[in-house]
A and B are shown apart, each in its own frame.
Chain A
Amino acid sequence: MLNVKVLGPGCANCKRLEQAVQRVAGAIGVAVEVEKVTDYAEIMKWDVLQTPGLVVNGKLVAAGRIPSDEEIARLLKPAA
């Protein structure tokens, strides 16, 4: 099970990123557990300046944007 965190207080883009991750993970057959991190003190541990942030296996891989489906697939696959 791949641990993915979406960092963000619940903005529209945070929800969209979460949905994108679920969708892509389903499409490429990677089992993911998506965790929403909404507490600022927790979010800032990754030193993001823009939300949403995307964390895969404890590593920040994107911030302030929603990566394309292909990019999300590339980020999830090697990590699984």
Chain B
Amino acid sequence: MNPLPTSSLRPTHRTETRAFALVALSAIAWVAAYSAILPLAEWLTYDVIRLARGSHLGESVAFFLYDVPKILLLLSGMIFVITVIQSFFSPERTRAVLSGKREGVGNVLAAALGVLTPFCSCSAVPLFIGFVKAGIPLGVTFSFLTAAPLVNEVALVMLFGTFGWQVAALYAFTGVTIAVISGVVIGKTRPERFVEPFVFQIGTSGTQTIQSPDAQLTWSERFATAWRTTRDIVGKVWPFIVVGIGIGAGIHGFVPQDALAGILGREAWWSVPAGVLLGVPLYSNAAGIVPVAQALVSKGAALGAVLAFMMAVVGLSLPEMIILRRVLKPRLLATFVAVVATGIIFTGYLFNWVLR
């Protein structure tokens, strides 16, 4: 029996049109919902629950009721768009671009592609081995492996939603810079010595058929994947966001202005390293941390410390270190952590200095 001809396996023109229509309708619904949040939150707080305008409790409740749907909507919408963009990039294509690139140019390209290529820390090891096997220099590989988790889409959207686009853009830009520099520095330390030897021994045995799957995606497939990813991510982080905004709302309403300037302010030199140290063991809580951080900043904490903390949470997460230990000897892993942490701390001070 013959397999089905390939043309009938492709979605028809009609499914493509339907997919676009569905996305357009969702976009309209999204905009409508987004513009309804503020009046709805105020109406609920002051007319339904009947809290006094200007009271501590009233302010906190209104802030909470406004911020939770706002952040969740922003997150869903933007993760969807980002995932659609990422569907045009694949690790296979990235590897093809990077192989044959020298260090320097390679590091910059790797860091940029690290942001755009879909990445899950669970795939860090196959990615590392695949890159090494393709002859990509280790320093360039590290630039990719630093940028991919560091410029994390959830963190980016949370920063955008709570601090505005300038802070989000600075975060993305410095994240890429840290990745480039870290890769260059690690490349200089002759890191080959500290890669687990089995990585270099893996050969593709001649009998295996290696073919490149996933040739060309259709738009309906891209949208379907993006929809699934959005649901997964939002489903995973929403409790942290609700709790985080709850704590943030409490701080907004009840902590006096500038109460934190002395402890976490720009003048306190230890605030940035402390942020990094705190961030490493925390993982998916990144989403919940930003609203708290925003509240802290509004009461006088330094933004640099807060951003350093964010970067440490996503870029130096403990789970990823444990995964990378499979291919890196402790010494190289320690170098990696040290170099990236130094970059983050430096960025934290830079932010404190720039954003006055």
Contacts and interface: CB of A to CB of B under 8 A. Distances in A.
Interface of A: 8-9, 11-13, 40-41, 43-51, 58-66, 68, 74, 78
A74 to B, nearest CB: 6
Contact of A61 (B122, B210, B213): B213
A44 B130 contact: yes
B224 A68 contact: yes
A41 B90 CA distance: 22
B3 interface: yes
Contacts of B198: 40-41
17 contacts: A9-B323, A12-B122, A13-B120, A41-B201, A45-B208, A47-B130, A47-B204, A48-B130, A49-B91, A49-B127, A49-B130, A50-B91, A50-B118, A51-B122, A51-B126, A60-B211, A62-B213
A49 B92 contact: yes
Contact of B123 (A12, A51, A59, A68): A51
Nearest to B198: A41
Contact of A49 (B122, B123, B224): B123
B326 interface: yes
Interface string B197-233: 0100110110011110110000000001100100000
A45 B3 contact: no
A63 B130 CA distance: 13
Contacts of B122: 8-9, 11-13, 51
In the A-B complex, the 9 residue pairs with the smallest Cβ-Cβ separation, listed nearest first, are A11-B122, A49-B91, A78-B3, A49-B130, A50-B123, A44-B202, A44-B129, A47-B210, A49-B127
A78 B9 CA distance: 13
B127 A40 contact: no
Contact of B213 (A8, A13, A63, A74): A63
B355 interface: no
A66 B126 CA distance: 17
Contact of B208 (A46, A61, A66, A78): A46
Interface in B102-139: 118, 120, 122-123, 125-127, 129-130, 133
A59 B211 contact: yes
B4 interface: yes
A48 B9 CA distance: 24
Interface in B87-107: 90-92, 95
B129 A58 contact: no
A70 to B, nearest CB: 9
A22 to B, nearest CB: 19
Contacts of B9: 74
Contacts of B95: 49
B202 A41 contact: yes
B123 A45 contact: no
Given A44-B129, A68-B224, A58 B208 contact: yes
Nearest to A49: B91
A40 B126 contact: yes
